[in-house]
Amino acid sequence: MSTADRTRVPPQTGAPGPGRPEPPRPYGRLGRLGRWASAHLRLVVVLWLALVAGLGAFAPQVTSSLAGAGWQANGSESVKVRELADAHFGGNASSALQVVVAADRPVTDPAVTSVIERAGALLAADPRIERVVPPEPGVTVSPDGRTAILLAGAGADTDDMVRAADDLKGPLAALSGDGVQVSATGASVLWSDFNAANHDAMMKSEMLSWPVTLAILVLAFGSLVAAGLPLLLTLAGLAASAGALVLLNHLTPTSVWAMNFAMMFALALGIDYALFLVVRFRSALARHGDARRAVGETMDTAGKAVALSGVTVLVSLSAVLLVPAPAFRSMALGIMLAVTFVLAATLTLLPAVLGRLGRRVNAGALPRSRRAAGQPEGSARFAAWGERLWAHPLRYGVPALLVLLALAAPVIGLRTAMPSITVVPEDSSARTGYAAVQRAFGPGAPGALQIVTPAGQADAAAAVLRDSAAIAAVMPAQQAADGSGFTMLQAVPAVDPSDPGLAATVEQLRERLPEQALVGGAAVENLDLQSMLDGKTPLVIGVVLAMGFVLLLLALQAPLVALLGTVTNLLATAAAFGAARLVFQDGHGAGLLGFEPQGFLDGWAPVFFFAMIFAIAMDYTVFLLSSAKEHHERTGDPRRAVVGALAHSGRVIFAAAAVMVAVFLTFAFSGPLPPKEMGIVLGLAVLLDAALVRLVLLPVLLRLTGRAAWWSPAWLRRVLPDIRFSHG
């Protein structure tokens, strides 16, 4: 064959030639889904509009219909006491309302008596009140005769009693005047005030965080159009999840807090997922200019990582369902619903919109971002950082590790307890009434214990109570009116309900009282809930870690890298809780943040915050390690895996973390203590995880372990599914 003949031989079909773009490679399931969505934008939008409209129609009911109680240990002794009191003692349970009338003159004064009668009539008119017990001299009238308590028995479940407190505390307070103060108090009123104060603070913080979030989004995405994409996902996910929560509430009582946390996670994950996909879409679009092909490639690579991240978040939060407390379970379910809807929108609605936008995704771009959007190989700045870490791993890795260990060390002395009355505002009804009861009846009066026992054991139980130095007073025994054979004794402890000594008192009484006697009351319900949380925390943490490791192993197919990802998550979480101990238990920075330290961290933090932090940390872990695996699959070079992962995901992790830290830290400066705890713990966790773990320590560990990080035994490779993150 002559030279001329050889020059006329056509290239192989599909092979790239001079000026010929690289041909499309085969697409996986997510890639095909993305291309289908981008080709059927109208259908995808119509389906999402139908879903959002259908579920969103219920969204306006979310605040009024969701439950306000549920902070209890199901099956505990104290919950059994409340159920017996509801059934056999006219609703004289921990959920009953107490109305405190404090006057500057004896309560027998006609003007004060008139106020008491009007308060009683107001209570009796509410169908959720079983019966109203007027003040009894020597029992619910103070020794000085100037304070009286009306008892409004619970005629509904705990959630409806919180709603009753919502409705009644204002009209009752309006009866005050002329030297008479009327305050509703008790556990139901406490949860009413607690929910209202924290809901208002969280909404205020979220509103304050929006301008900061939008500014960071514009800087992170580099264009106004791209910055609006996370909001699209968030709004779709929020509207659908809000309506779904209302429907869920018809099946099982769902905490009003579920919506707050759902909103937070919908925004956080919507930003994370949109950032990751948009950055990869821009890179793919810069390589070959075909929007639909860029969508398919993006979903084949980053889409898999997002899907895995969503599953990991759901698995982490599902561990909270092991805690038998309705409030915790419903909050976890609320977040899981929001994650599910945001994930579904990310995998269908976002690729459809990106396919239609094409290069218009860069519309309204900032000058620097306009140039960066055309770079197909990711961030040059983070690639250079990856090269620096590879060249000097110990120089950067050791200081990062030391900082994390130093912050994690205080976690050893961390104490937890259920919150005291100080977590509600000083002028709230529950706190005002609480203080009035203590002034008139003694420090332990707001936390009276309820002991339910068979009638035959009542005298023996009363003798045990009177012989206890920790009991200040014992009320006359109350017989069940329905002939059930139960007797209730009420005992006033000598210490404030939030005093740590109360737990020892309850434990001693349970040991000394007759076998069939049950000890309960609002303060004891808190103690039982705390005890249950302490017992379940190791189980929840163990399940979260184990399931996180298994999911990383399934995705990455390398035991060592999966272990590194899991252990570094735990290290960042421990550092956040160690810092939280210094702030909230020891009080460092309390003046700056404007709160009074309780001497402990609120009891739900270890279980619930751990699951939330681990879910967020796994989000970043999956982004980084899936990118590293993608580059390792292509090249087999550990160095290029680390550098390429930082180039493609470092900017996303940095920007997403900046948004989350800004959002969480706004809660740190809100009024009530629980949002402050959440803001500090979650904000520090995200900051430490992104800045020290994902962008320093984990890449350094991949550098030090080299090829061993990606090694997997042959038997394990045969067992695990073949999941690849590289396109084609």
Write out pLDDT tens, residues 415-469.
988 888 888 888 999 999 999 999 999 999 999 999 999 999 999 999 999 999 9
The model's confidence at residue 365, banded by pLDDT at 50, 70 and 90, is low
pLDDT of residue 724: 78
**Lookup: tokens for 575:** 């550092």
The alpha carbon of 510 is separated from its chain's Cα centroid by a whole number of angstroms, namely: 34
Question: Contact at 8 Å (CB) between 259 and 335?
Answer: no
Phi, psi of 130 (to 5 degrees): -70, -55
Alpha helices in 442-485 (DSSP H): 458-467
pLDDT of residue 11: 38
**Lookup: tokens for 222:** 């580099």
The model's confidence at residue 2, banded by pLDDT at 50, 70 and 90, is very low
pLDDT of residue 461: 95
Percent of all residues in the chain with a pLDDT value above 70, rounded to a whole number: 94
DSSP state of 58: T
Bridge partners, residue 479, by sequence: 487
Q: What is the mean pLDDT of the chain?
A: 87
Q: For residue range 467-512, list pLDDT tens digits in order.
A: 999 999 999 999 998 888 899 999 999 999 988 899 999 999 999 9
Q: Is 445 helix (H, G, I), strand (E, B) or coil?
A: helix
Question: Contact at 8 Å (CB) between 638 and 593?
Answer: no
Question: Rounded to 5 degrees, what angle do the CA atoms 657, 663, 666 make?
Answer: 135
Q: For residue range 168-190, list pLDDT tens digits in order.
A: 999 999 999 999 999 999 999 99
Pick the residue with more confidence: 309 or 222? 309
Q: Is 325 helix (H, G, I), strand (E, B) or coil?
A: coil
pLDDT of residue 301: 85
pLDDT of residue 364: 65
Q: Which amino acid is present at 276?
A: F
Task: Tell whether the model's pLDDT for residue 18 goes beyond 80.
Answer: no
In whole angstroms, what is the distance from residue 586 CA to residue 576 CA?
15
The model's confidence at residue 23, banded by pLDDT at 50, 70 and 90, is low
Longest alpha-carbon distance in the chain: 123
Phi, psi of 69 (to 5 degrees): -110, -145
**Which residues have CB under 8 Å from 284's CB, separation 6+?**
293, 294, 297, 298, 376
Q: Is 289 helix (H, G, I), strand (E, B) or coil?
A: coil
**Other Cβ atoms closer than 10 A to 596:** 12
**Lookup: tokens for 664:** 């969480």
Percent of all residues in the chain with a pLDDT value above 90, rounded to a whole number: 53
The alpha carbon of 189 is separated from its chain's Cα centroid by a whole number of angstroms, namely: 24
Mean pLDDT (whole number) for 136-156: 94
Task: Tell whether the model's pLDDT for residue 662 goes beyond 90.
Answer: no
Question: Contact at 8 Å (CB) between 480 and 489?
Answer: no
pLDDT of residue 727: 58
Q: For residue range 77-114, list pLDDT tens digits in order.
A: 999 999 999 999 989 999 999 999 999 999 999 999 99
pLDDT of residue 25: 62
Mean pLDDT (whole number) for 191-213: 79
Pick the residue with more confidence: 370 or 700? 700
Mean pLDDT (whole number) for 322-349: 91
Mean pLDDT (whole number) for 373-394: 83
Q: For residue range 552-575, list pLDDT tens digits in order.
A: 999 898 999 999 999 998 998 999
pLDDT of residue 228: 78
pLDDT of residue 728: 55
Mean pLDDT (whole number) for 577-590: 90
Mean pLDDT (whole number) for 266-273: 83
Question: Contact at 8 Å (CB) between 663 and 202?
Answer: no
**Exposure class string for 692-718: b at 16+ Cβ within 10 A, else e:** bbbbbbbbbbbbebeeebbebeeeeee
Task: Tell whether the model's pLDDT for residue 211 goes beyond 70.
Answer: yes
The model's confidence at residue 19, banded by pLDDT at 50, 70 and 90, is very low
The alpha carbon of 205 is separated from its chain's Cα centroid by a whole number of angstroms, namely: 15
**Which residues have CB under 8 Å from 686's CB, separation 6+?**
613, 616, 657, 660, 661, 664
pLDDT of residue 377: 58
Of 339, 329, 206, the C-alpha closest to 265 is 339
The model's confidence at residue 721, banded by pLDDT at 50, 70 and 90, is confident
**Other Cβ atoms closer than 10 A to 285:** 25
